[in-house]
Amino acid sequence: MPVPVELVVRNEADVLAGVFKVSVEYSSGSLSPGQAFTVPFIADESEDVDPGDGLYAFTTHDLEPGEEITFTGVVLIPNEEQGRTVTVTAIADSCSGEEFTEATCRVAEFNEDNNRSESIDIDVPNFVD
């Protein structure tokens, strides 16, 4: 099920942030506690956003300190989640899909949790054929 999203990423550091990717993950009552899965994020292409492969979108340039980039597009919630509430979180500078990289990925920071959005709950409707 496609769900429209708008993600705003801001470089809150005092140094340049190199090109990075953004991913979206979801969790729900159908999954084990603490378990989350990456879902496809189909980003709209723009001067600032490369939609990538349909799973991860990328910035097209470095972000200056204080600079923001807005990603728009849709996330695809699995059909088996119909009728359930899912929790969705966006992750910038994401390690998602990179099983053999360090947990910090591209940027070592004093707070590795500052690249996650606040989570939002989405009630996934049942489809009618």
When the pLDDT of each residue in the chain is averaged and rounded to a whole number, the result is 80
Q: Which residue has the higher pLDDT, 53 or 69?
A: 69
User: Residue 128: pLDDT above 70?
Assistant: no
* Cβ–Cβ < 8 Å for 117, 7: yes
Q: Which CATH architecture has domain 2-123?
A: Sandwich (2.60)
Q: How many CB atoms lie within 10 A of CB 99?
A: 6
Q: Which of 107, 7, 117, 108 is nearest to 62 (CA)?
A: 107
What pLDDT sits at residue 27?
Answer: 86
pLDDT reported for residue 12: 82
**Tell me: the pLDDT tens digits for 18-32?**
888 888 888 887 767
Tens digit of pLDDT for each residue in 80-91? Answer: 888 888 888 888
Domain boundaries of the chain, sorted by first residue: 2-123
Q: Which residues of 107-128 are buried (b: 16+ CB within 10 A; e: fewer)?
A: eeeeeeeebebeeeebebeeee
What distance in Å separates the CA atoms of residue 58 and residue 52, rounded to the nearest whole number? Answer: 6
Task: Report whether pLDDT(70) > 60.
Answer: yes
32 or 107: which leads in pLDDT: 32
Better pLDDT: 127 or 108: 127
